[in-house]
Structure 1
Amino acid sequence: MDAVFDHSGPGVVASGLDRARLAWSRGRVRQFRTAVLLCLLAASVVMGVAIDPSVFPVTALMVPLLLGSLVLNPRQLPWFVGWIVVMVGVALWLQDERTGRIMAVAVIEVLMAAIVLVTARRRSSLGVAGNTGESMFVDLRDRLLNQGGIPALPGGWRVESALRSASGTPFAGDFLVATVLDDDTRLEVVVVDVSGKGDAAGTRALLLSGAFGGMLGSLAPQDFLGAANDYLLRQGWEEGFATAVHLSLDLRSGRFSVRSAGHPPAVQRHSGSGRWGVLPSAGPVLGLIDDAHFEVAHGVLGHGDAVLLYTDGMVERPRRDIEMGLDRMLGQAETLLHGSFVGSAERLVTSLGSPDDDRAMVVVHRR
């Protein structure tokens, strides 16, 4: 029998720590170098003001101030803002004539410095510079959207999804998570509507999408909503509830099960008759009660059949009953999906629902 040796040891650990320390020190040096360059840029502007104010006005100090607000970290930015204020004072002192216009420009410069400082204090809770914080939010947004991406499916199946937020941004209280399990033979999809809407619900949706994605791939279908309910109860949020509909589909036989938690019911289209049927699953809203029980609806998707999963923004509008909204959605779906399911989710979300609410739609079609 061959022996297997572990060559890792104290030397390897020490080497890893050394590399980490080296990377950290390089980052500190890079930040210090950036701050010094910005200070030199501000000093150069003041020298230009002293040489020829018509070419280098005091307002040119706005440039290093703006750059500093973008690239300096919260610990460096306050003293850099102070440096800019000092440079404004020096520039005024170097002026031959301190007219009212020049004084007004200086006051505006100081006011802008104060605004940058206040903004930096608000960002200090993140501990990152302005552009870094924006990059983090972009990365989080991309992760949220990727979490709802539909995985590759075997031939004969098509799944499309679409999402619209009430605020028009990619952050929404509605989201979906999908995965394929058991050697590409089982599709799991969950559509969730977090309490609130738009950006206000986007942060909770981001957290839940990661948690639900982990549970969806590791739990049996009958256990998912119960685990999601327990997770929400543990969060202790003031608006800590959500509705969800969960589809588990066998990609070989077409058999599926649907469970919902306070969510509008899934609907199935039978290609033979062309009729739509509501899948009668029910259960309490997630995050409100312990030991919740969720009813299940079973069915089979034959060739040409489809299942729609959606959020209440697709069927609810002010002063309109949800049953009327569901009837309208099914009528529109029959028109829009007739003959082709390509782009079906996008067409339905665009033509239906309330623009003042988040909307999500998933269309599962067996060709």
Structure 2
Amino acid sequence: MLFEVYGDHALYQWLGWAMVFCGLILLNEVARRSKAGGIFMFVALPIAMTVYCVVVTAAAGAGLDWGVNNPTVVFQNGWFHYAKVYAALAGCVGFMILKYRWGRLGKSQMFKCFPFVIVAINILIAVISDFESAAHFFTGDFFMQNGSPVWVTSEHATQVCGWNNVFNGIAGILNIFCMTGWWGIYVSKKKHDMLWPDMTWVFIISYDLWNFCYTYNCLPNHAWYCGLALLLAPTVANALWNKGAWIQNRAYTLAIWCMFAQVFPTFQISFPDMGVDSIFAVQSTLNATTNTTVSLIALAANVAALGYVAYRAKKLGVNPYTHEVFTGTRDFDRAMERREAAA
């Protein structure tokens, strides 16, 4: 059992998952299908969110009760959440620059490596967070809970810490090198999507397993949503109707979710002693054996994915980062069929 989805709130927990999953798919479609939708979602809303976060943080710093007790200040004050939301937003804006060919950047061949750079940054943010958790274990800054070593973050979340973080941190680093064809970026015929055809199921599966494990390790009271619903939304879209645009789907849904979670964190958490007890909240089991098992699966998947990338590169006799290595595969060909003729 990975999550505590049983008991009186089980129906609401599954309902919450379905709402998040469907909501992310719907909002992703709104954002990708029009410039206005994308600009509203990734320019206007982030400005409003930033103003809100600055105001409540300043109020908290001034000792005002409504700032000190604001949910964003209490439950989303860590460096990771701010780094993640703005890194995801940077990716969204950069992807729009590429797909709409805005300005010199949008037309620059060199800027086509931006998707790799921003995805690598996003992965490294999570890797650092995993290693930060591991540091608590190796420095003895933890306590035992139900037989598992845990520590409590500044956001009041209890995390299992230990070798699970090390294994998954390594998996994240390997995952960066599973991205191939860094300059193989195209635009879809209707300019709805930025396409990265060489980012096939090989990377997607290895990424999803690694990122799920990261959320399970470091966001145990969020992982039901940001580890399952959020990861599955772009993967399903890519598999069924939006082939080749997985990374755009991922960036869009990630940014939307991070903004929502930053402003409305109490949707997914339960701290009854602090007056917060959402019926949609789901906690992981906080079991060291389970966390380690999930981490080893993620590590094995990324070792296998990197090995397959090396095999494909050797078979084609190319550098897997300057050239595309999945040419001729079903996913790659289906994605290339969607690109515009002049791309």
TM-score range, shorter chain: under 0.3
Please report the TM-score for the alignment, with normalisation by the length of structure 1: 0.26
Q: Which gives a bigger RCO, structure 1 or 2 (Cα 8 Å, sep 6+)? A: 2
Higher-strand-fraction structure: 1
Higher-helix-fraction structure: 2
Please report the TM-score for the alignment, with normalisation by the length of structure 2: 0.28
